[in-house]
Homo-oligomer: A and B are copies of this chain.
Amino acid sequence: MARTNEKVGSLPVGEPAAHTPASAAAGIAGAIGMLEGRWKLEILFHLFGGQVRRFSELERAIPAVSQKMLIQQLRQLEQDGIVARRVYPEVPPRVEYWLTDWGQSLCPALDALLQWAERREGRAGAG
């Protein structure tokens, strides 16, 4: 988010696991940012597992979304390298969407988050 330039002190460059609270937060914020649109997660879950869907299929699968939003979120996901898109130069037009390998690899991370959310039951905490 704002200001990632709070340089770390003396780091052995090359180690990918070195983070300040700010840089770690920034990295995750970036990841979450890519997932933030109101419909992106739902889109992703319709695409996980190598599924290929055309625009109208997604539209039907997510009834509450508007065309504009669906396109917008799809394009953002595409731009972020999470989903891939293919246009068939036919008439009537056909466009298909699916997950990139990197996009697919989001699944476990999302699953971890879901597990965490569901683990909430016994949230006695550390009070």
Contacts and interface: CB of A to CB of B under 8 A. Distances in A.
Interface of A: 1-3, 16, 19, 21-22, 24-25, 27-32, 35-36, 38-39, 41-42, 44-46, 48, 50, 61, 64, 81, 84, 98-106, 108-110, 112-120, 123-127
Contacts of A109: 109, 112-113, 115-116
A31 B113 contact: yes
Given A27-B114, A102-B125, 6 more contacts: A24-B114, A25-B45, A28-B41, A31-B114, A32-B32, A105-B119
A contacts with B: majority SS: helix
A27 to B, nearest CB: 5
A29 B44 CA distance: 12
Best-surrounded residue of A22, A25, A39, A119 (most CB of chain B within 10 A): A25
A66 to B, nearest CB: 12
Given A84-B126, A125-B84, A110 B45 contact: no
